[in-house]
Amino acid sequence: MANDDFYQTLLKDVGSLKGAEIADVCGFDSFIDDSQTQALPNTVKVASLGDLSDFFRVSQDTLVHKAVKDLWRINEDKTGNVVIERLFDPDTKEPIRV
C-alpha cells in the first residue's frame, strides 16, 4: 500500500486526525523511520479536542501527559494555530515531569 493510500485510509477511519500536523521535525514518520530517536514531538498542532485526550488539564494553559507524566503548555503559534509544547528543565534539558 502506498503511503498516500495508507494516510487516506487512516483519515477516512479516524476523523479526529484530520488537520493534525506535527510542528516539529519528529512525528508520524518517526514511528516508521528508525533514524529518528525521539518518540514524541516537542510541539503538536491541535486540530480538535480529541487531540488532547492523552492529557490532564492542570491549569488554564498547562497539561500533563497521562502516560509519561510530563508537562505541556497550550500556546498559539505565529499563524494563529493552537499548539501544545512540551516543557523542559532549562538546566538539564530534560522534559519536566510531575
- In angstroms, the CA 50 to CA 13 distance is 14
pLDDT (tens place) for every residue of the chain, 98 residues total? 444 555 555 555 444 444 444 444 444 444 444 444 445 689 999 999 899 999 999 999 999 999 999 999 999 988 999 999 999 999 999 999 99
The answer to whether residue 91 is domain-embedded is: no
The answer to whether residue 82 is domain-embedded is: yes
Structural contact between residues 45 and 72, judged by C-beta atoms closer than 8 angstroms: no
Pick from 95, 91, 4: which is nearest to 41 by CA? 95
Range of the domain at 59: 3-86
The answer to whether residue 92 is domain-embedded is: no
Indicate the pTM of the whole model: 0.58
Number of structural domains in the chain: 1
For 20-58, the DSSP string reads: --B-SS-SHHHHH-TT---SS-SEEE--SGGGGTTEEE-
> CB 44: neighbour CB atoms within 10 A?
22
